């Protein structure tokens, strides 16, 4: 495997290895610090970013390299240069390329045009770096992943998709609650169900957030609205997703030791109440901090060909 475009690129063993690497980088941030000496990693961001941009830049720096963040206005893409041509040029200068953009097809085209590793830093369909950091956070808090139920309430978009796929690979019990019409794609559901069964976990897809959250160790949600959505679509989404807000009453249905997670940025009063996200059970800032060792682990694994069973 050359790239990490989505969680389904990984096997269960790959995911375990990434979590072990990330834990090691937390304990010794400078280990592997010469891997990228005198090498550059461009980070292309077509969407705004706080955690992903800063954590990935820090990960490249910890590995001894130079991160360079660029946007669409700084390259020739806006003037008609193709993604393939851009990829070939960037690949000639770079050890790896990190990309945050809209269409998954653009990331696949980038990956097919250059031999260097491509890391998906978020697309409309996937957010694999977030999912690795999420499971790292759960593992740190509880000491293990198997035997714990992770429940997601809200829109079944990119964050929910990568989270459920990763949790299934890890053998967790996965419960996803979304309104009708907001469920994850069928292929993500099929993958999650199959991998949860294969790895000793379970999978529930429901429209009832109470059913999903009952007895859960982790309750997770994400924002309801995307930038640029027309006002009529925003209002429709608010109406559909309001019953899926994570509040104190929903958290009370989870396990006694349950924690709350959110990938951030958050909108208090929409998808989560302030009392939950700012409360003692919230791990959101630990999640955010874990984006750094997660990115470091992914880059290290791809650049040393440790994924897919290679040494």
> 132: phi > 0 → left, psi -120 to 50 → alpha, else beta; which?
alpha
Whether 263 is catalytic: yes
Indicate the SS3 state at residue 169.
helix
Per-residue pLDDT tens digits for 136-170:
999 999 999 999 999 999 999 999 999 999 999 99
For residue 78, the model assigns a pLDDT of 83
Give the contacts of 274 (CB within 8 A, at least 6 positions apart).
268
Q: What is the pLDDT of residue 289?
A: 98
Helix/strand/coil for 4? strand
Marked catalytic residue, from 173, 263, 287, 296: 263
Catalytic residue of the set 51, 53, 62, 127: 127
| Beta strand extents in 91-211 (DSSP E only) | 97-100, 118-120, 149-153, 173-177, 202-206
Instruction: Kindly indicate whether the domain formed by 7-126+291-309 is annotated with CATH number 3.40.50.1370.
Output: yes
Q: Where in the chain is the domain with CATH 3.40.50.1370?
A: 7-126+291-309, 131-288
Catalytic residue among 6, 51, 53, 130: 130
pLDDT for 73: 87
Is 6 a catalytic site residue?
Answer: no
- DSSP state for residue 258 in the 8-state scheme: -
What is residue 65's predicted lDDT score, i.e. its pLDDT?
97
Does the active-site annotation cover 106? no
Active site residue 256: no
Active site residue 222: yes
pLDDT of residue 72: 87
pTM, rounded to two decimals: 0.96
Instruction: Tell how strand 97-100 and strand 173-177 pair up.
Output: unpaired
Question: What parts of the chain have a pLDDT lower than 70?
Answer: 227-229, 308-311
The CATH class of 131-288 is alpha beta
Say what the pLDDT of residue 311 is. Answer: 41
Report the pLDDT value the prediction gives residue 227, as an integer from 0 to 100.
60
Residue 34 annotated as catalytic? no
The pLDDT value given to residue 310: 47
């Amino acid at each position: 495997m050359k790239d990490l475009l989505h969680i389904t690129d990984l096997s269960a063993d790959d995911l375990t290895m990434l979590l072990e690497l990330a834990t090691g980088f937390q304990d010794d941030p400078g280990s592997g610090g010469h891997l990228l000496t005198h090498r550059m990693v461009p980070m292309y961001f077509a969407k705004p970013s706080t955690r992903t941009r800063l954590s990935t830049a820090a990960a490249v720096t910890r590995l001894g390299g130079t991160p360079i963040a660029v946007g669409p206005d700084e390259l020739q893409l806006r003037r008609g240069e193709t993604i393939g041509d851009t990829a070939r040029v960037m690949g000639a200068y770079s050890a790896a390329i990190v990309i945050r953009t809209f269409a998954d097809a653009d990331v696949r085209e980038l990956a097919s045009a250059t031999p260097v590793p491509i890391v998906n830093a978020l697309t409309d369909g996937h957010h694999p770096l977030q999912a690795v950091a999420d499971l790292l956070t759960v593992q740190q808090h509880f000491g293990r992943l198997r035997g714990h139920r992770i429940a997601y309430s809200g829109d079944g978009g990119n964050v929910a998709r990568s989270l459920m796929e990763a949790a299934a690979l890890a053998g967790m019990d996965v419960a996803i609650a979304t309104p009708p019409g907001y469920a994850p794609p069928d292929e993500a559901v099929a993958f999650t169900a199959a991998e949860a069964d294969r790895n000793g976990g379970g999978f529930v897809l429901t429209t009832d957030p109470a059913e999903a959250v009952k007895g859960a160790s982790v309750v997770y949600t994400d924002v309801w609205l995307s930038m640029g959505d027309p006002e009529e679509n925003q209002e429709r989404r608010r109406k559909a997703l309001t019953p899926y807000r994570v509040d104190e009453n929903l958290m009370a249905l989870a396990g006694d030791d349950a924690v709350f997670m959110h990938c951030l940025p958050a909108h208090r009063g929409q998808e989560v109440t302030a009392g939950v996200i700012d409360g003692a059970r919230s791990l959101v800032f630990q999640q955010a901090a874990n984006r750094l060792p997660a990115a470091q682990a992914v880059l290290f694994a791809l650049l040393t060909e440790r994924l897919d069973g290679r040494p």
